[in-house]
Structure 1
Amino acid sequence: MDSTGPLGVLLLPLLLMGTALGNGAQKAPGSPSAPSVGNNAEICLLPPDVGPCRARIPSYYYDRYTQSCRIFFYGGCEGNANNFDTLEDCNEACSRIERPSYCYSPKDEGLCSANVTRYYFNPRHTACETFTYTGCGGNDNNFLNMEDCTRVCVKGSRKEKNMKLLKTVFPGRRLKTYKK
């Protein structure tokens, strides 16, 4: 009997666990599990999600409220795409995000009979304005307060319109940026 057999059996789970906790950088750009991302706003505006696992991997996410990348500890599995290996990757992917497409949705008061003051982004004026929401229905261009509307929808108007975004791919659960 080979004396390395039991040792190999013990090391295999550790090797597999290390691979699962890795950053996924081994996957080739453009592979089926790494679809290209255009604007990145839909990803960068997601809340941070550590996932259900218990590893503590230093990672970065884009904080839509401070409009900057911040550190958090990723659990190692699941989570969402607002999860970057380095501060540089996060800044490259999210520093030039444009406003989300729902900011261009028309004001929609809804279908019910309540009278609630809400805020929506008016693309014609490139500003957030108040409207009366009826309490149900409507669309995503509907904010509880002026600050949230401004952070999400007005912020994009300050970005340079013609800047070329880096190609960003999503291998596994973490975004990677690749210079063209």
Structure 2
Amino acid sequence: MKVYNENKTQVLETYDLELGKLKADKILKESHAAIPEVPAITVETKVAEITASGGKVEEIGGKQYKVIEEFPNGGKTVEEIKETPAVPAKDAYDEYEDIQVYIPYTAEELAERKQQKYEDRVVELLRKKYTLNQELAILRQRDEKPEEYQAYHDYAEQCKATAKTEILGG
């Protein structure tokens, strides 16, 4: 599927999903004009037109044939006359192609994403040592078990510092 810029004026070969997002969209591929109805033309109508214009028609085996060419030896080149089926009318329509549009994040969205990435990384680092249940138990019992809480708190601060260095750059 093609990826276009925000204005849908240019196909993008490369784009950075850290700095923007893709949104499903459509682009006009082709407009098709309306097709008028064409009525069926019967064999009888065609025979009448051929004979009216001076042509010859012969019936062979119950079918009508137009004489294309006659030869001196009595042979003939003929073409079977067949009914032309009706063609129903078609409304005009537009054909669209599914595409993706690259929408760059705003400065605010980039800041929010960076903050969310930082918070997710802090939680990821915390989970290496503490499960969520362990963390909640330590926080509930912080007054009863201050040493355990202090160890958790120190580790959490260390996780924040690590995430800050990795994600926020300082």
TM > 0.5: no
TM-score between both structures, scaled by the size of structure 1: 0.23
Of Structure 1 and Structure 2, the greater helix share is in: 2
The structure whose RCO (Cα within 8 Å, separation 6+) is larger is 2
- Bigger fraction of residues in strand: 2
| TM-score, with structure 2 as normaliser | 0.24
